Chains A and B, each alone.
Chain A
Amino acid sequence: MARYGLLIDASKCTGCHACSIACSMYNELEEEVTYNRLEFIERGKYPNAVMEIVPLQCMHCDNPPCATVCPTNATFKREDGIVSIDENKCIGCKYCMTACPYDARQLNESRIPEKCRWCPEMLEAGKQPACSSTCMNEVRLFGKLDDPDSEINKKMAQHEVSQLVTEKGTKPRIYYIKRK
């Protein structure tokens, strides 16, 4: 069983939001709903100001707080590392939404807190998910963390990487290439 991970090179992101639109279209989401978003940081002061962009989505944590708090195991961790949801078991208590330190959950019309599932059918077919394949700058790279020859592992070996909100003990599966 593969162990999936995602490497993000945020320095290449232009802020075009194509990833968000691709996600909404692929998952047939309602208006203004997307499972990934961009966060903006302003650094410095005019005239030496820059804007950094950081793509954000479900981190598919190895210690997912959303799954820990779910009373019916509707949210669960798959063997391949994807944090998934069984909608039939969800009672709509929104505990997962309050537990997620990344604000990754989006309530759908059926009052189920949905989120990015890394398009598993694409990964299993050896393809990149919608957000990644649509990106003109190849900001995202999905791959198998347990395969030493995978692209993601090769790239991670070449760069220094970091993760978000590690202090909450979530052990996220998304890595960010540190900016130079």
Chain B
Amino acid sequence: MLTNHKFWYAVSGALILFGAAGALNIIIHGEHSMGTSNYVPWGALIAGYVFFVVSSTGLSLVAALGHVFHMKRFEPLAKRAVLGSIITLLMGFIVIGLELGSPFSMIHILFSPNFQSAIFWMGLLYGIYLVLLVFEFIFLLKDDHKKSRLFGILVLISAIAAHSNLGAVFGFLVARSYWTGPYMSIYFILSALLSGAALLAFMYFLVSKVKRTEDMQVEGSHIVSHLGKLMVLFLSITVFFTVWKILTGVYGAVPGKHDGIMALLAGPLSFQFYFFELGFGMIIPLLILTLPGGFKPARVFAAAAFALVGIFVMRIDLVFAGQMIPLEPVKGALLPQFRDWTITWAEWGVMAGAIGGAVLLYLMGERKWNLETAPHEEGEDEKAPVSVQLAKKA
């Protein structure tokens, strides 16, 4: 079933319909159809947006391993990863567009920019990143390795700039101790690597099954295994970051930050934190991959699927843990322990629709373009960094 084109078209169609209904509801009823409030102004669509743009950045970063850094085993990934990166970024834009109260006023970012605002930079940097990605993809399709590598480098730089700045959108918020500081920018980049590797493993496993050509099956299973190894590294990094975020939060009892961490550990977010963020997002995929035979493609696929669900919930936790702790401008005032929030069907719909849209666009891309990467010419190896050349000789 999973290897059938029609199945995926049907799934994406259904999700897009659900998404269209959700989007329409938000357009008509505005904030009333969302689970936000004056005290929790950023809702699930912010988490959804972060999920999609993190995926885009992650796909670009993992693509760069082969395409920019000449790690041979990842070279065949380039076209599919860059296409995936463009698509997930576009879906992210659609999701945030529906979260914004007046998206058409974005024009004022050009005429009245505030250079101090991280959201201004977010718009600018992701805009540049999208344009560069499109150029990279065009040159990849033409198998122009020289130009596509040049754009690959620019994409890498812009991806890191745009995505770490997205972390700063949260990190700059002095009012919300849970987010304040440089942690978010670093965490966003490193967790993007996990998103990218997991999404590519997920995609590549399915593509290798659907394509059914012998070359693709052999190549696909090799790549999926290698991505599994990368995932172990990136999962370990994510565990490391999560452990230290929790320990520093619990240790100091800093108002806001401590309460946010406790909401995850022993509060209203604890089930989704333990079960999805830690369980699905980190422990289960690590176990699947590190037990004997863990890098078999089907196992990597399963680990990637768990990780992707876990990463999505990680974004939900991140957005709400930072807002559900009431601000206390008047010390000692009577306040609820936690601010209420919810995820409405319209918000679920928009996020599901964006996933459907991504699947549909990807299927269309596979159909329209040849996404197999032609081998790099012999002479090009000499231009590879010395370390790579030495590694090859060894």
Contacts and interface: CB of A to CB of B under 8 A. Distances in A.
Interface of A: 39-43, 54, 56, 65, 68-74, 88-95, 97-103, 105-107, 109-113, 164-165, 168-169
Contacts of A73: 108, 112-114
B101 A110 contact: yes
B252 interface: no
Interface stretch (B35-43, B220-228, B371-379): B35-43
Nearest to B105: A91
B324 to A, nearest CB: 12
B131 interface: no
A69 B118 contact: yes
A95 to B, nearest CB: 5
B123 interface: yes
A97 B38 CA distance: 7
Given A93-B119, A94-B36, A110-B102, 13 more contacts: A72-B105, A72-B109, A72-B120, A88-B108, A89-B108, A90-B101, A91-B106, A92-B101, A101-B327, A103-B327, A105-B38, A111-B102, A113-B41
B100 interface: yes
B109 to A, nearest CB: 6
B152 to A, nearest CB: 29
A102 B100 contact: no
A168 B101 contact: no
Interface stretch (B87-95, B167-175, B234-242, B293-301): B167-175
B394 interface: no
B102 A39 contact: no
Interface stretch (B55-63, B141-149, B276-284, B328-336): B328-336
A70 B173 contact: no
Given A69-B172, A91-B103, A101-B175, A74 B119 contact: no
A88 B112 CA distance: 11
B332 A164 contact: no
Contacts of A93: 99-101, 119
5 contacts: A65-B174, A68-B114, A72-B120, A90-B102, A94-B41
B174 A168 contact: yes
Interface residues of B, number: 41
Given A91-B105, A95-B117, A109-B30, A40 B100 contact: no
Interface in B322-344: 322-323, 327, 329-334
Contacts of B387: none
Given A92-B100, A97-B41, A69 B327 contact: no
A149 B195 CA distance: 63
Counting chain B CB atoms within 10 Å of each CB, the highest count among A40, A69, A101 belongs to: A69
A117 B57 CA distance: 40
B89 to A, nearest CB: 18
A72 B100 contact: no
A100 B173 CA distance: 9
Contacts of A98: 41-42, 173, 175-176, 322-323
